[in-house]
Structure formats: structure tokens, C-alpha cells
Amino acid sequence: MPEPTESAAQEHPAEVQPRPGDSSSPAAVPQRWLALAVVTLASFLDNLDANAVTVVLPAIQRDLGADFATAQWTLAGYALAYALFLITGGRLGDIYGRKRLFMTGVAGFTVASAVCGVAGAPEVLVAGRLAQGFTAALMVPQAVSVVVTMFHRDEWARAFAVLGAALSIGSVGGPVLGGTLTELDVLGLGWRAIFLINVPLGLIALTMAARSMPESRSEQPPRLDLIGVTLLTAASVGVMYPLIQGRESGWPTWMLVLAGAGAVVFAVFVRQQGVRHRRDRSALVPPTLFRHRSTRVGLTVTLLVFSGVASFFLVLTYHLQTGLGWPVLKTALVTAAWPIGITATFQIAWKYGAGHRRMCVAAGSLLMGFGALWTLLAIWEAGDGQLAWQQLAAAELVMGCGMGLTTPVLTAVVLEDVPADDAGAGSGVLNAAIQFSSAAGVAVIGGLYFMQLENGGGQHAGTGHFATVTAAVLGCNVAVFLLTTALSSLLPAGRGRKQSPTVTGA
């Protein structure tokens, strides 16, 4: 199932101001379109991988003899590592050079993909996925920087359209490619091919980058908030580890203490960010971002949406493959209706969303809730019988249409009141929040799902038990989308102008 974090939010980056003091100029970069092709290829690989993994996760788990917690870490670990280092990755490019950071990220992502592809133990796979998330956080932010610093302003729309098209293809093609490679068992590799295919493509991207990308960096580089990164990492791991691993370990006392300590460290992080911002305005997450109601409410709704989506497709994939025994490719083809739906309505929200924000978000959330409810009822009614793939694909298409209406409006709302000086930080915080919420959804709702399955025999439970548990847990997703609909009334009213595309991943 497609992971929404990049396909939905990165498709149409917004107009951004060039960073002051950039040493490169579009007039001095004749190979800018080739450079764009390089960063587009790298972003495509990341998006393709992210969207292919969920659909083959049950096959990976069976092959490695892994537990359900490993399956959760395979998804949540990537999202968590990406979120923690996304903002820092962009700033490192400004300081040490965007080409250098991009090539470092591509090289690391290629090696991490190889580790995932040859993993013989669950722990190795999880380590590889964490490394993929970290290196993607170094690599992906440089894509937007390349467009802003190497292209004339009147070329931005075309350049971002190329980048957005590649990400859209990755969203649709990821599950289908993952399912096809796994089903065909190319060279006897099975699911491993979805990772190993990144190796030759990554080497091509590295070679092209070395030849086509000039180095650029900011002449007034921002300071790194390493203490903030450390505190946020400790707080996130402290909370996330017990959420995912606690069930498998029987919830020992030390895990509960760890979760509490994580919450305390997060409070320390919030205070440290305030002090850092007042001192030199170099906080990882500037507190000034949250002075605006649009940012606070928009982020809250965004967190709910992405936590609901990520967990929905994890639960659905396990029901179809482990509960009903569907082949990977059939699952991939059905869930590919989701990004198709996003593509169908994204432009509508982009064009009309500025003047009808509450209506767009409410309508989109209702569509997602309706699609989730439709899926729930179809699974419940089928029980241990046959589930019609046409009905399921239609439900996913409806959900995708709802996501396409909702996401561009929310992203614009979050960023619209952010001061120009904090635009990069605001974009980074938004994308990090999307990744965090995806990881949290997988941890919380996914954990609830796997706990109920284990009570009935785990992977060997009967189809009827799978249907009962899946339908019950999908009710949580329906509730999340209905809550999103209710909160849409708190969003700022529309400003009556055309919706601007939004920068994400920067």
C-alpha cells in the first residue's frame, strides 16, 4: 500500500524564496536540467521504496520468521529516522554543500538498500530500514534546494512539475512494482528485489551527480541545533520503543519507565527550543511557528490524517495477505487505486482550496472516513468468505480522492502564516510531523491490531477471526477521519485566492 508521506505532500512544492547568500546562480548552471533529473531519480527511488514496502511486508515477515513487532519497526523505523533528521539534513546541505550532502545521502541510501536486500535476520532488516530513513533525510531535502538555487524563478513551475510527476509515478508504481517483483521471483530474489534494484540505480544517480551538479552552499549558513536533535531523538525513541516492543515483551516495568522518561525528555526539548530560539534563532523547531492558529490547528489535523492513513494500509495489507491468502500482486493492484484517487482530486484542491478550505478538508475527510467504513463493512460481511476485489478497489479510490482534497489545503494552511525567515524550518517541521504521525499510527493502531490477532492465534488464526479483528480495528481509523472532519471547522476561513503549491521535504 502506498505510503502517503511523500506522494501526497511533496507533489507540488510551493514557491519559496531563494536562500540569501547562495553562491550559485541559475545563469551559471547550464546543466540544471540534468541536475534536476539526478535529484528526481533519487527522490523517485526513495518514494518508490517507501510505497513498495508495506505491500510486501507479510511476505518479508514470513521469509525471515519475524514477529509482528519487526513488521512495525520496518515501517515505523524508517519514518522515525527520516523525521528526526529531515530538518538537519536540509541545514547540513546549506552549511557543507548541497551536492556533497546529496551524494552522501545517495551513497548511504544505496548501501542501506543493499543491506535490506541481503538481510538474513529481522534485526538486520530493521537496521537497514533505519539507515534508509536517515540517509533519505540527507538526500531528499537537496532536491528542492537544487530547483530554488539552480533555476530561474520563471522555470520553477516546470521544474517542480517534473519532480512532482516522478513522485506521483513512484506512489502508483511502488506497490505494483513491489508486488510484481515479489510474485515473479526475479532471479529467485522475491521481495529482496525491491531493495536491490536501488543499487544499480543509486550508482547511476551518483555518477550523474558527480558530473552534472555544481556545489552550492549558503554564505550565511544556519547553526546546527545538535542538542535539540539529540533531545528529540531520545524522546521519540523513549516513547516509540515501548509502543512497538512492549506487547512482544509483556510490558515489563522498565518499558513503562522508559515511556515516561521519553515524555519528560520531550518537555525538556520544548523548553530548550525556546531558550535556543531566544539566544540565536537557530532552534530546530522555532517556537514562533506555533504562535499562529493556522499552524497549530493545521498541524493537529495533519497529524490525525497521516496517522490514520499509515495504520489503515498496514492493517488492510495483513488482512488481505495473511488472513485471506491473497498474493502480493493482487493486493498491490487493489491498493494502487489509492494514489490514483489522490491524483484525480489533487489539482481541484490546489485550484479551489484557498477559498474553500473548511469545505475541502471536511469533504476530503468524510470521503476517507466513508472509504474506510466501506472497507470495514466489506470485510465484515465477507467474513471467512470471498472478498470482492472490485468493491475494495472502489473503496480505496474513494479514500484517495479524499486525501487529494485534504492534503494540499492542510499543507498550505500550516505554512501560510509562517514568516519568510522561518519558511524552511516550517516546511521541515511539517514534513517531520507527517513522518512522526505515520510512525505513531503504525505503532499505536498497528500494535492494537497485532495484539488482537495474537489473542486468536496470530498468523495462524482463522479467516473469521482475522475479519473480526480487522473490522474492529478499522473502526479506529474511521473514528480518526471523522474527528478530522469535525476539527476542519476550526481551520482559518479561505482567503479567496488561488491555492499555492506547497514545499515539502525541504
Render pLDDT for 114-139 as a digit per residue (tens, 0 to 9).
999 999 999 999 999 999 999 999 99
Cβ count near 297 (within 10 Å): 19
pLDDT score, position 358: 86
Q: Rounded to an integer, what distance in angstroms lies between the CA atom of residue 459 and that of residue 28?
A: 59
Of the chain, the percentage scoring pLDDT greater than 70 comes to 89
Please state which of the ranges 62-76, 211-225, 234-248 shows the lowest mean pLDDT: 211-225
Counting residues of the chain whose pLDDT is more than 90, the rounded percentage is: 47
Q: What is the pLDDT of residue 442?
A: 93
**Taking 50 as the threshold, does the pLDDT of residue 8 lie above it?**
no
Residue 45 neighbours by CB under 8 Å, 6+ apart: 109, 170, 198, 201, 202, 205
Residue type, 22: D
DSSP 489: G
Return the DSSP state at 220: S
Residue 80 scores a pLDDT above 90: yes
- pLDDT value for 497: 45
Rg (CA), the chain: 21
Q: In 3-state terms, what secondary structure has residue 22? A: strand
Q: Which three cell numbers stand for residue 275?
A: 531558550
Which pTM value belongs to this model? Answer: 0.86
- Identify whether the C-beta of residue 400 lies closer than 8 Å to the C-beta of residue 344: yes
Q: What whole-number distance in Å separates Cα of residue 113 and Cα of residue 196?
A: 6
Distances from the Cα of 173 to the Cα of 45, 208, 251, 328, 333, angstroms: 11, 23, 39, 14, 10
| Cβ(361)–Cβ(305) below 8 Å | no
305's grid cell: 490524517
With 60 as the cut, is the pLDDT of residue 20 above it?
no
3 state DSSP class of 497: coil
pLDDT at res. 23: 41
pLDDT at residue 456, rounded to an integer: 65
**Contact between residue 405 and residue 364 where contact means Cβ atoms under 8 Å apart:** yes
At residue 431 the predicted structure's pLDDT band, cuts being 50, 70 and 90, is confident
Q: Look up residue 10 and give its DSSP letter.
A: S
